Amino acid sequence: MNSAPRPVVLSGIQPSGHLTLGNYLGAIKNWLPLYREYDCYYMLVDLHAITVRQDPAALRERCYEFLALYIACGLDPSNNVLFVQSHVGGHARLAWVLNCYTQMGELSRMTQFKDKSQKNADNINAGLFDYPVLMAADILLYDSAQVPVGDDQKQHLELTRDVAIRFNNLYGTPERPVFRVPEPMIPPVGARIMGLQDPTAKMSKSDDAVTNALYLLDPPDIITRKIKRAVTDMDNTVRYAPAEKPGVSNLLSILSATGGESIAALEARFAGQGYGAFKSAVAEAVVECLKPVQARYHEIREDRDELRRILRDGAVRAAVRADATLRRVHDVLGFIPE
């Protein structure tokens, strides 16, 4: 039987900072079942990372760390293509082509560029400006149908769609478009984990204040301490009301996502109890949730040969699809076939 090709899901993460509970509950965990319906590609975007200065040794170790954590969170390399962006030459090559179909004005409007150039005023390099074009190349190279991204990346995905449509109008036909136009994949509600100290903003892996985030590799005592110190309010009732009680609501989301009980059930369970008992329960649930992840991580983290083998295999599988797209693009542009 000839089965139809499966749609592609692709996402990328910058190997910077440290993976947080928010990355796990808000992203990685939702990706785990996707391989049953989609061809899934998850990459470490090292080419994007160098748009700000990196320490080479730290960058390399972080890539291994993130890969081992992805696997420890349950992303099985035999069902998901896990790879490093710089290992597949097509990303940089397609980015160059797309550069010639993206306007300076479009890139100047990107809010992330404006933010990052303010934060790195001494190094506003062309790569930082061009970052969204490389991201468009990442996505279009794999004919991605769905792209799981956070809110902060929606504008880049919108640009990717614009560039794809523009290119298709120039070189494709409605029946044979050159690029597949991707859709954002929005995480389920409640999966958005906020900071512990500032519960009005997303928990970030690159936050300067380390007490604001729960890192996947934090030991149990650190997790407990951070949760005990998490910002709440003066009202002392465990109730879900994100606008009014962002801190408590975030802790409820975390407890619900890690312990599996609904928010309503948790509100009932903690009715009449203060925040002390509630926070202890949150800490315990997070520690229990991370225990198997950390155990698996430590089993595989030092097996450098195995991690390298997984990345080599991932790059080979990724390149098959990437090369086919690049050939198609070069062909419509009039480049002589290699």
User: Contact letters (x/-) for ligand TRP, 133-152, by CB under 6 A?
Assistant: --x--xx-------x-x---
- Rounded to an integer, what distance in angstroms lies between the CA atom of residue 66 and that of residue 300? 12
Catalytic residue among 154, 205, 228, 291: 205
Q: How far apart are CA 63 and CA 152, in angstroms?
A: 22
Query: Residue with CB nearest ligand TRP?
Result: 12
Of residues 10 and 282, the one with the C-beta less far from ligand TRP: 10
Q: Is 84 helix (H, G, I), strand (E, B) or coil?
A: strand
The count of residues interacting with ligand TRP (CB under 6 A) is 12
Which lies closer to ligand TRP via its Cβ, residue 27 or residue 251?
27
Answer yes or no: 279 catalytic.
Answer: no
CA distance 159 to 34: 25
Interface pattern 91-130 for ligand TRP (x via CB under 6 A): ----------------------------------------
Give, in order, the Cα–Cα distances in Å from 89 to each of 80, 93, 137.
20, 7, 11
Collect all residues with Cβ–Cβ distance below 8 Å to 63 and sequence separation of at least 6. Answer: 15, 44, 46, 84
SS3 (DSSP) at 185: strand
CA distance 292 to 284: 14
For the record, the structure tokens of 299 come out as 């089993």
Catalytic residue among 29, 119, 154, 202: 202
Q: Is 29 among the residues known to form the active site? A: no
Output the 3-class SS for 117-172. HHHCCCCCCHHHHHHHHHHHHHHHCCCEEEEECCHHHHHHHHHHHHHHHHHHHHHC
Q: Which is nearer to ligand TRP, 35 or 222 (CB)?
A: 35
**With respect to ligand TRP, which residue has the nearer C-beta, 11 or 224?**
11
Sheet-wide strand order for 8-13 = 81-84, 39-44, 8-13, 144-148, 183-185
Q: Per CB under 6 A, does 289 bind ligand TRP? A: no
Residue for token digits 């109730």? 239
Per-residue x/- mask for ligand TRP, residues 46 to 75, rule CB under 6 A? Answer: --x---------------------------
Closer residue to ligand TRP (CB): 10 or 21? 10
How far is it, in rounded angstroms, from Cα 114 to Cα 218? Answer: 32
Binding flags for ligand TRP, 9-28, as an x/- string (CB under 6 A): -xxx-x--------------
Please list every residue from 147 through 176 that binds ligand TRP, using CB under 6 A: 147, 149, 153
Whether 154 is a known active-site residue: answer: no
Catalytic positions, written as ranges: 116, 202, 205
What are the residues binding ligand TRP (CB under 6 A)? Answer: 10-12, 14, 45, 48, 135, 138-139, 147, 149, 153
